[in-house]
Structure 1
Amino acid sequence: MPQQSPLDLPEGDPFGPHNLPYGVFTTADAPEHRRIGVRYGDHVLDTAAVAAMLGSPHTDLLSQPLLNPLMAAGRPVWDAVRAEVRGWLTDPAYQTTVEPMLVPLAEVTLHLPFEVADYVDFYASEHHASNVGRMFRPQDEPLLPNWKHLPIGYHGRAGTVVVSGTPVVRPLGQRLPAGADTPVFGPTQRLDIEAEVGFVVGTPTAPGERVPLTSFRDHVFGVTLVNDWSARDLQSWEYRPLGPFLAKSFATSVSAWVTPLAAFDAARTAPPARDLPLLDYLDDSATEPDGLDIRIEVALNGHPVSYPPFATMYWTAAQQLAHMTVNGATLRTGDLYASGTVSGPEREQRGCLLELTWSGRDPLELPDGTRTFLLDGDEVTLTAWAPGPDGSRIGLGEVTGRIAAATD
C-alpha cells in the first residue's frame, strides 16, 4: 500500500487549510537555521524553501528567522501570503514541490515565533473579576466602579515571554504569612496559572495615532494561547497601590504558533450584553462583532480541570486595542496583549487555580493527589479550538509549561 501523503489530512483535522498558523522552527541537521513554517496537520511546511522554488514575490519575508518582517508588512500582504500558502497546500499542481518540504512536527524544534516588543495584560472577564472581588473584598461590590467603563490592564514584562515547553522556575519574592506583621522572603507558595488568549500586533502606529474599533483587523496579525503564570502570595503583598510586579514578571508562556486573525472569521460572535453605556471610542454597538468563540481546555499533569469559554469575555480584543492607544501610545510590530484570565459562569469554566480552588479552600481532586496551587514538577497545558467555515475546527497551538524548583 502506498504511503499516505502528508497533504492528505484526516477529516476534521483542526490544522487544515482553513487554519495555517505560522511558527519558527529548526531541524536537527541545521540547528542554527531558524525559518518560518506553517503548520499543516502534524507537519510543518518550510515556507521559505517553497517560496524560493516557486518564485514567490514574498520569498524575502518568508525567509526571515522571525515573523516580525511579515507582520510589519500589513494586512494586504498577510492576506496575499495566506492565499498563496493555501494554494501550495491544496492545489495538486504544487504537490511534487510541496510534499518534500513538509517536515514532521516530531522532527523539529519550535521557537518563540516573533520578537516581543511590549506586553500588556488585561482583566477582561467579568466572571473572573467578580470572583476575585468576592474572594478578597467580600464586604464590597465584586467589581470596582471603573470596571465596566474601561478595559483594565497593566504593562507587563516583554523580556520574560517564553515559548511553550520552556520550564517555569518557581519565583522568589516577598510574601506576608497569615497573621504576620512583617514579610518573609522565599519561593512562592501559591503558584498559579492564568488561561488567556493573546493578540499579536503587526502594523505599527505613529506617536499620537489612535486605533479605532474599525481598524482592529488592520493592526492585529494573529492570535495565540497564553499562560500568564502568577504568584498569588507575592501579588497580594505587593499589588497595592500600583498593581502586579514581581508576581507576574517572572514568566509568561505563549504558544509556538500564531494563527492569523483571518482564520477566525467564522468564530466571530457578539460579546455579552453591556450593562452600562460606553464612551464613544469603546462603543461597539454599531460595529461588526469582535468577540471570538474560542473554547479552551486546561489540563494539569494530563488531567483536564477546566474549560474556559472565551466568548464570555466582557471586553473584546478590539476594545482593548482601542483603549491601549486612545492616549496616543504607539503600537510596535511584535506587541503582545493578552485578555487576562478567561473564566465562565460555571465552576468548571474558571481559568485559574485561584478561582477553581476558591483561594485554596476547595482543593482539586486529581489522579495524582489534591492541588490548591502548583507543585514543583507539575505540568500545565492549554489547548483550544474555534469554529471554522463549513463545520470545520480551527485549532490553536498548545502552550505547555512545567514547574521547576526555585533556585537560590
Structure 2
Amino acid sequence: MAGKPLRSWVPAANADDCDFPIQNLPYGVFSTQGGAPRCGVAIGDMIVDLAACEARGLIEAGGTFAQPQLNEFIALGRGKWDEVRARLTELLAEGGDESLPLVPMAGARMHLPIRVTEFTDFYASKNHAFNVGVLFRGPENALPPQWTHMPIGYNGRASSVVVSGTPIRRPMGQVRGEDGPVWSRCRRLDLELELGAIVGVDSHMGERVSVEEAEAMIFGYVLLNDWSARDIQAWEYQPLGPFQSKALGTTIGAWVVTQAALEPFRCQGAERVAPLLPYLREERPGFYDLIVGWIMNGQTMGRTNYNVMYYSSAQQLAHHTVSGCPMRVGDLIGSGTISGPTIGETGALLEMTQGGKNPVEVNGEERTFIEDGDEIGLYAYARGDGYRIGFGPCTGRILPAQE
C-alpha cells in the first residue's frame, strides 16, 4: 500500500490545487523592492531565497544562486541538480528547517529565468499540423511528406523571449493585398500554446546527440506562448518559413519545472504513422501526462493533454544536432502548438475559428483573432496522488500597434 504523499511545513504547499507542492520545487529568478534579481524555488505561496540559503551555508552551488539567471547553476550539471533538489526537499519537508529564508510571492517581481542563448520552435502536434495544413492546402496535402519522418522547426529570435506578464505590442508589417503588398497593422494576431524545453548541457560542433543523450541534456520545462501574426506569416512564409510574423514576442512562464519533478508522469505520445529512422527512435516514452490549456480574458478556451504530441523534446533536440549543430546551456526548444483532435482542444485561434470563419464568444463578445487589450494566459499541470505539479501563470496582454 502506497504511503501518504510527502508534505511541507509551508502550509499552502499542501493544498490539493497548489501548483507548487514539495514534489515540484520549480526554479525561477525574482527580486524584491530594492534588491537585485536572484534565484529562487517556489513552494506553496512562497519563494525560497536560494542566494540567502547559499550565503548561510544551507546549500552549496558555487555562488551561482546570486546570479540574475539560472544558466550558471544549470551548467553545474545533473549531479548538482539532483543534490540541490534532495537538499531542498529535506529542508522543506515537515520537520525540516522552518528558519529557511522565504519571500512571499505576492511581494516579489519575477524575471526571465534563463539567459536565452538560442530559440528554436518546432511543429510537433500532428493535430495542429493537419488542421493548419487543411486551411492552407486542403486535406489531401495537409501534411508535408516529411512531417511524419522528422521534427520540423525554424530558428526564432532569442532577443524577443520575455517573461510572463510582459505586454506584447501588436506588430506592423507587410500583408497580402489585392494588387500586391500592403503596409498594415496585424489583423490576425494569434497565440500558440506550447511547452518549452531548456537545454542544460552543452554539445560540441560536429557531433550528433542521440535521443537518449538529448533526454539527459534537458534541465526542465516552461510554458511557452509563441505569439503569431498570421496575416504577415501568410505573405512571408514561402519559401523559407516564418520571419517577422514570429519575431514580435515569445512569452515563457517564470517557473522552470524540472525534469525530475515530471518523471512520475512520463507516458507515451501520439501513435506513429510511419517508422522513424534509427537516430530518432526512443528507448522509453519522452512525453508527460500534462493537462495544458489557455484562457482569454479570464474565460477558459482550449484544453488538451501534452501527450497528444508526435515528437518529444528529446527527439527534437537530437534532430537539432544531426548536422553537427552545437547546443548550449540556455537554449530554448519550443514544442510547437499543442492541439488535441477536437476544436475545443486546439491551442491556437487559427484552428479554433477555422481561419477566422467561425467566431468564438469570449465573455459575450465575438473573437476570430486577438484584439488590443486582450490577455491570454496558459496553464499546465500534472495530477499526482494528493498533489499536482503546476507551472504557474504564463500571461501577456496585447498593446496597440505603433502606426
TM range (shorter): over 0.9
The Cα of 1:282 is off from its aligned counterpart by 0.6
The Cα of 1:54 is off from its aligned counterpart by 3.2
* Partner residue in 1 for 2:390: 395
What is the rounded CA distance, in whole Å, between the counterparts of 1:88 and 1:65 in structure 2?
23
Q: Does 1:90 align with 2:86?
A: no
- 2:74 counterpart letter in structure 1: M
Q: Is the 8 A contact 1:52 1:59 kept in 2?
A: no
* Partner residue in 2 for 1:159: 159
* Partner residue in 2 for 1:136: 136
* Partner residue in 2 for 1:385: 381
Q: List per-residue Cα deviations over 1:223-244 (Å, max 9, x = no partner).
A: 0000000000000000001100
> Mapping of 1:171-250 within 5 angstroms?
171-177=171-177, 180-250=178-248
Structure 2 residue aligned with 1:325, among 315, 321, 326? 321
Q: Is the 8 A contact 1:164 1:401 kept in 2?
A: yes
Greater mean deviation of Cα atoms: 48-57 or 240-249: 48-57
Q: List per-residue Cα deviations over 1:246-285 (Å, max 9, x = no partner).
A: 000110000011111111111110122212111010122x
The Cα of 1:5 is off from its aligned counterpart by 6.6
> Mapping of 1:56-95 within 5 angstroms?
56-58=59-61, 60-90=63-93, 92-95=95-98
* Partner residue in 2 for 1:372: 368
Q: List per-residue Cα deviations over 1:378-400 (Å, max 9, x = no partner).
A: 00000110134x35310012110
Q: Is the 8 A contact 1:74 1:218 kept in 2?
A: no
What is the rounded CA distance, in whole Å, between the counterparts of 1:56 and 1:192 in structure 2?
43
- 2:389 counterpart letter in structure 1: I
* Partner residue in 2 for 1:9: 13
> Mapping of 1:343-354 within 5 angstroms?
343-354=339-350
Q: Does 1:147 align with 2:147?
A: yes
* Partner residue in 2 for 1:308: 304
What is the rounded CA distance, in whole Å, between the counterparts of 1:375 and 1:368 in structure 2?
14
- 2:128 counterpart letter in structure 1: H
What is the rounded CA distance, in whole Å, between the counterparts of 1:233 and 1:261 in structure 2?
36
- 2:156 counterpart letter in structure 1: G
Q: Is the 8 A contact 1:197 1:223 kept in 2?
A: yes
- SS state at 2:29 partner: strand
* Partner residue in 1 for 2:40: 37
What is the rounded CA distance, in whole Å, between the counterparts of 1:357 and 1:235 in structure 2?
17
Does the C-alpha gap of structure 1 residues 6 and 319 become closer, same or farther in structure 2, counting only changes over 3 Å?
same
- 2:170 counterpart letter in structure 1: R
Question: What fraction of aligned residue pairs are identical, expressed as a percent?
Answer: 45
Moved over 6 A (4+): none
What is the rounded CA distance, in whole Å, between the counterparts of 1:208 and 1:140 in structure 2?
38
* Partner residue in 2 for 1:20: 25
Aligned-residue CA RMSD (Å): 1.5
What is the rounded CA distance, in whole Å, between the counterparts of 2:244 and 2:81 in structure 1?
36
- 2:71 counterpart letter in structure 1: N
Structure 1: unaligned runs, 5 residues or longer: none
What is the rounded CA distance, in whole Å, between the counterparts of 1:126 and 1:151 in structure 2?
11
The Cα of 1:10 is off from its aligned counterpart by 3.5
- SS state at 1:288 partner: coil
The Cα of 1:40 is off from its aligned counterpart by 0.5
* Partner residue in 1 for 2:3: none
- 1:392 counterpart letter in structure 2: Y
What is the rounded CA distance, in whole Å, between the counterparts of 1:76 and 1:82 in structure 2?
10
TM-score with structure 1 setting the length? 0.94
What is the rounded CA distance, in whole Å, between the counterparts of 2:161 and 2:140 in structure 1?
35
Structure 2: unaligned runs, 5 residues or longer: 1-7
Q: Is the 8 A contact 2:206 2:323 kept in 1?
A: yes
What is the rounded CA distance, in whole Å, between the counterparts of 1:56 and 1:330 in structure 2?
32
The Cα of 1:288 is off from its aligned counterpart by 1.3
Q: Is the 8 A contact 2:9 2:93 kept in 1?
A: no
Does the C-alpha gap of structure 1 residues 94 and 241 become closer, same or farther in structure 2, counting only changes over 3 Å?
same
Q: Is the 8 A contact 2:13 2:22 kept in 1?
A: no
* Partner residue in 1 for 2:335: 339
Q: Is the 8 A contact 1:296 1:308 kept in 2?
A: yes
TM-score with structure 2 setting the length? 0.95
Q: List per-residue Cα deviations over 1:44-85 (Å, max 9, x = no partner).
A: 110111222134322512222210011111111111111111
What is the rounded CA distance, in whole Å, between the counterparts of 1:300 and 1:20 in structure 2?
28
Q: Is the 8 A contact 1:266 1:387 kept in 2?
A: no
Does the C-alpha gap of structure 1 residues 139 and 261 become closer, same or farther in structure 2, counting only changes over 3 Å?
closer
* Partner residue in 1 for 2:5: none
What is the rounded CA distance, in whole Å, between the counterparts of 2:34 and 2:224 in structure 1?
30
What is the rounded CA distance, in whole Å, between the counterparts of 1:233 and 1:110 in structure 2?
32
